[in-house]
């Protein structure tokens, strides 16, 4: 796959985080990586070159949870800046089948034979979101705050293309 992410010494990327809501709960995935505490995030990952934001959202949900998803809009855009790293984080909403069961998938960036980083899936009540160590915290806090009035698609995705 060969991802070139290093430009002028900075690891740059665009991450698509996915809010899949069902019956007042959202789906989270727990990662465990060597040398750091485990943490919860929205399903998602890096946008691949030539891939649209909706395509990335659908692919990442399928890889990590086994669920088929349908893109329904952009919620938030934020940035993560730390020495040597710049990530644009696009949080989107998808619809998933209410009757489908999520199953723990995999992270294709983990080399074969290495320990998987995805450890657990959990549907979390929106009202209890602040009790979870969801990263980044500003996404957790915004989702928890918006949950009180019902999460709705706020942004407008205009698509992309040539001209």
Q: Kindly list the domain boundaries of the chain, sorted by start residue.
A: 10-96+112-147
35-65: pLDDT as tens digits: 888 999 999 999 999 999 999 999 999 999 9
Residue 7 binned pLDDT confidence (cut-offs 50, 70, 90):
low
The pLDDT of residue 57 is 97
pLDDT of 95 over the 60 cut: yes
* E-state strands within the chain: 6-7, 10-22, 25-31, 39-41, 44-46, 69-82, 85-96, 118-125
Fold of domain 10-96+112-147: Nucleoside Triphosphate Pyrophosphohydrolase (3.90.79)
Residue 157 binned pLDDT confidence (cut-offs 50, 70, 90):
low
Least confident of 4-8, 115-119, 130-134: 4-8
> What integer is the mean pLDDT of 106-133?
85
pTM more than 0.75: yes
Residue by residue, DSSP assigns 58-105 as HHHHHHHH---EEEEEEEEEEEEEETTEEEEEEEEEEEE-TTPPP---
55-92: pLDDT as tens digits: 999 999 999 999 999 999 999 898 888 888 899 999 99
Could you give the CA distance from residue 58 to residue 19 in angstroms, rounded to a whole number?
11
Residue 147 binned pLDDT confidence (cut-offs 50, 70, 90):
confident
For residue 146, the surrounding DSSP H or E stretch is helix 137-147
Could you give the CA distance from residue 1 to residue 22 in angstroms, rounded to a whole number?
33
Q: b or e along 27-57 (b: 16 or more beta carbons within 10 Å of the residue's beta carbon)? A: bbbbbeeeeeeebbbbbbbbbeeeebbbebb
Listed in sequence order, the residues at least 6 apart from 90 whose beta carbon sits closer than 8 Å to its beta carbon are 14, 15, 16, 17, 47, 53, 74, 76, 77
The pLDDT of residue 146 is 85
């Amino acid at each position: 796959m060969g991802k070139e992410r290093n430009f002028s010494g900075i690891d740059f990327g665009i991450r698509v985080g996915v809010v899949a809501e069902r019956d007042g709960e959202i789906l989270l995935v727990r990662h465990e990586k060597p040398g750091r505490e485990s943490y919860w995030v929205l399903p998602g990952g890096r946008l691949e070159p030539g891939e649209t934001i909706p395509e990335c959202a659908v692919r990442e949900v399928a890889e990590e949870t086994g669920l088929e998803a349908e893109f329904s809009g952009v919620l938030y855009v934020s940035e993560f800046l730390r020495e040597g790293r710049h990530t644009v984080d696009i949080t989107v909403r998808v619809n998933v089948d209410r009757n489908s069961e999520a199953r723990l998938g995999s992270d294709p960036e983990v080399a074969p034979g290495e320990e998987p980083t995805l450890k657990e899936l959990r549907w979390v009540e929106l009202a209890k979101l602040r009790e979870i160590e969801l990263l980044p915290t500003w996404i957790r806090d915004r989702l928890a705050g918006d949950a009180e009035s019902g999460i709705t698609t706020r942004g407008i995705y205009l698509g992309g293309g040539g001209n």
